[in-house]
Each structure stands twice: as structure tokens, then as C-alpha cells.
């Protein structure tokens, strides 16, 4: 039984390597199709300034974008800049964001990040990966989202949709967000067709509309002919 499982695992690894080698060619085929399919693809979170985007992305952890947008509609009227968030009463702020879940940790990170922005960056959300990662509550996914959507700096946002679809499409064998990000950076054009940021939006939109987690609609998928999983669901 153990030998059979090991053999099956070995075959699986070989298949992953083969698809990985063809990943760039696959991206070149699906990127323009997805862009034509979703011409209005953009970030779902609503914001008007970099600091509001930072707050919205932190709130979106383990929470739907719809819920975050409901909460931030009033929140952003009260807290207009980093100084407002830095001066917030943490107990009051916790209740204002409570419905997004994990509100105590999120409140701590948002207020902490705002204070760091005031003290170390003159009130402006930093525009480099290195500086963003030093802020409380900011990881590479959040940083790439801010860079790509607030500063037009190419970045790949590896959320759950990007992780799931990258594997289904045979773009990477990695499910670790950081490793996957680096894999995609090698095969997705950095700027062409909207580059890394647009590719992230398109994959997220496709994941929400067609290639859903439990039951992908392969019959209505515009890129099914280039997807390994469409013909062999057990492969990925």
C-alpha cells in the first residue's frame, strides 16, 4: 500500500514539473483571453487614498470584500488620514470594525501602522516593499496590493483565488503565497497587458465567477482548453 502511494506521488511530481516548464506559454495564452472576458477587472475594495487602501486590506483578512466595503463606508468618513487612525481610541475602533472579524488584532495593527506612518514616513504610506513590510499587519500580499493599486507599481497579490487557480492552471506547484509569488513573477509579464497587478485582478475575478473552489464551471470557462484541470480534475 505504501509503495503504491509513493509511486502515485512520484508520478504526480513528474506531472507538476512538466506543467511548470510550460507555465509561461500558458500564461501568454490565457492572459489576453481573461482580459477580454473581464474588461472591468479591478480591486473589489473601495478606497480613495493609500492609507484607506491599507486599512481596507488589513480588514479584509478572513473577511469578504463586501463586508469590508460596508464597514469602511462610514469608517473612512470619520478617519480621513493616517493621523486620524493613529489617534483613534482602540476600544472604540475595535467596535467600529468588529463585524470584519479578528477585530482586536486588526485594530491593533491598523493603529500601529498609522502611528508608524506618522512617525517614520511623514504621514504618507510608503511606496516600497521593504518599507511597507515594516508596518504592523502588513505582509507581502498586503504590500503588493498597495503597490499595485495605490502606486501603480507592479505587484502580484497572492490571495486564496490566485493560489487555487495557479495550481489548477498548472502555473505553479507551490501553495505557499511567497513561493507562488516568485514563481508567477517569472512567468507573468511585469507590465504588458497590465502586468502583474492586472493578472492578479483577472485571476481573482475568474475565481469568483467561474473557477470557484468547490465546483468550477469548466463548461463555461473561456480558458478551459488551456487548463490541465479541465480535462483531468484530479491532476491539480
The answer, yes or no, to whether residue 62 has pLDDT greater than 80, is yes
Segment 70-99 shows an average pLDDT of: 98
Establish whether 159 is a catalytic residue: yes
> DSSP letter at 188?
S
Q: Catalytic residue among 141, 190, 212, 217, which?
A: 141
> In this predicted structure, what is the pLDDT of residue 232?
74
The answer, yes or no, to whether residue 89 has pLDDT greater than 90, is yes
Residue 195 grid cell: 502586468
Q: Domains in the chain, please, with CATH?
A: 2-37+156-231 (1.10.1670.10), 50-150 (1.10.340.30)
Q: Catalytic residue among 159, 191, 215, 217, which?
A: 159
> In this predicted structure, what is the pLDDT of residue 9?
47
Angle, CA 124 vertex, CA 45 and CA 201 arms, to 5°: 25
Q: Confidence class of residue 164 from pLDDT cuts 50, 70 and 90?
A: very high
- In whole numbers, what is the pLDDT of the chain averaged over residues? 91
Q: Confidence class of residue 18 from pLDDT cuts 50, 70 and 90?
A: very low
**What is each CA distance from 188 to 55, 69, 90, 200, 204, in whole angstroms?**
28, 30, 41, 10, 15
Give the burial string for 163-178 (b: 16+ CB within 10 Å, else e): bbbbbbbbbbbbeebe
Establish whether 124 is a catalytic residue: no
The answer, yes or no, to whether residue 19 has pLDDT greater than 60, is no
Q: Confidence class of residue 15 from pLDDT cuts 50, 70 and 90?
A: low
> In this predicted structure, what is the pLDDT of residue 230?
84
Please choose, from the candidates 190, 208, 207, the residue with its C-alpha nearest in 3D space to the C-alpha of residue 198: 190
Helix (H, G, I), strand (E, B) or coil at 85: helix
Amino acid at each position: 500500500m505504501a509503495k503504491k502511494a509513493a509511486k502515485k506521488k512520484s508520478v504526480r511530481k513528474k506531472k507538476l514539473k512538466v506543467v511548470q516548464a510550460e507555465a509561461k506559454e500558458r500564461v501568454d495564452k490565457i492572459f489576453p483571453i481573461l482580459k477580454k472576458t473581464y474588461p472591468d477587472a479591478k480591486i473589489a475594495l473601495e478606497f480613495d487614498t493609500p492609507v484607506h487602501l491599507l486599512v481596507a486590506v488589513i480588514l479584509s483578512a478572513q473577511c469578504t470584500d463586501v463586508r469590508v466595503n460596508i464597514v469602511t463606508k462610514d469608517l473612512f468618513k470619520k478617519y480621513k488620514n493616517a493621523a486620524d487612525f493613529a489617534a483613534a481610541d482602540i476600544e472604540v475602533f475595535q467596535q467600529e470594525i468588529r463585524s470584519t472579524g479578528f477585530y482586536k488584532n486588526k485594530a491593533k495593527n491598523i493603529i500601529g501602522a498609522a502611528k508608524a506612518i506618522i512617525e517614520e514616513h511623514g504621514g504618507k504610506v510608503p511606496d516600497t516593499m521593504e518599507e511597507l513590510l515594516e508596518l504592523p499587519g502588513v505582509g507581502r500580499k498586503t504590500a503588493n496590493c498597495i503597490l499595485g493599486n495605490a502606486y501603480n507599481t507592479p505587484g502580484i497579490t497572492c490571495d486564496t483565488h490566485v493560489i487555487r487557480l495557479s495550481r489548477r492552471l498548472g502555473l505553479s506547484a507551490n501553495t505557499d503565497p511567497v513561493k507562488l509569488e516568485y514563481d508567477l513573477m517569472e512567468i507573468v509579464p511585469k507590465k504588458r497587458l497590465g502586468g502583474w497587478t492586472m493578472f492578479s485582478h483577472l485571476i481573482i475575478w475568474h475565481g469568483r465567477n467561474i473557477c470557484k473552489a468547490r465546483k468550477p464551471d469548466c463548461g463555461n470557462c473561456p480558458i478551459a482548453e488551456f487548463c490541465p484541470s479541465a480535462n483531468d480534475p484530479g491532476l491539480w
